Amino acid sequence: MIFEQQEAPATYPHLTSEGMDELTGWGAISGMVADKDGIVWAVNDSFYLFQPAIFKIDTNQTPAKIVDAIRVVRQDGNPAQQIDMEGITLDGKGGFYVASEGRTGRVIPHAIYHVSADGVIKNRKGEIGLLPRTDGD
């Protein structure tokens, strides 16, 4: 159940990054996937320009806690610009597949990227381009 009417005050937050070694801002979570032992991996939306990240969330704590932020970068180490992460799944080898919502009007492709455990988008072989929609952007 997501909501329940009750007389008690609301309990916030449901997710925090408090206690991380490095101050980590987060928000606009747009995709999540469950892993073993109560770990959830999440991606942030392109609202945070030039800061694409994969968050490791420990749901065994209350509130759930972001315990790591993996910055998504290109092969050259620069932030992966012009990707709009909307989905994530595990690759079964410690890495991820991340779905990116493109904008064909700005020549930004819809794509699926293969991302290593340390956040590096694998070479172009790890990028799967998707055909644009035929009904607009």
132 or 45, higher pLDDT: 45
| Position 126 pLDDT exceeds 60 | no
Per-residue pLDDT for 127 more than 70? no
Res. 87: pLDDT tops 70: yes
Q: DSSP 3-state assignment of 1? A: coil
C-alpha torsion angle, residues 116, 64, 29, 19 (rounded to 10): -70
pLDDT in tens, 57-84: 999 998 899 999 999 999 899 988 888 8
pLDDT at residue number 82: 82
User: pLDDT (tens digit, 9 = 90+) per residue, 12-24?
Assistant: 778 889 989 887 8
What's the mean pLDDT when you consider all of the chain? 85
Mean pLDDT (whole number) for 45-57: 84
DSSP code per residue over 61-94 = SSSEEEEEEEE-B-TTSSB--S--EEEEEE-SSS
Per-residue burial over 9-22, b = 16 or more CB atoms within 10 Å of its CB, e = otherwise: eeeeeebbbeeeee
Indicate the pLDDT class of residue 31, thresholds 50, 70 and 90. very high
> 112 or 82: which carries more pLDDT confidence?
112
Name the pTM for this structure: 0.83
Residue 136 has pLDDT above 60, yes or no: no
What is the C-alpha to C-alpha distance for residues 69 and 62, in angstroms, rounded to an integer?
19
pLDDT at 2: 61
Give yes or no for a contact between 130 and 112, defined as CB atoms under 8 angstroms apart.
yes
Per-domain boundaries in the chain: 15-130
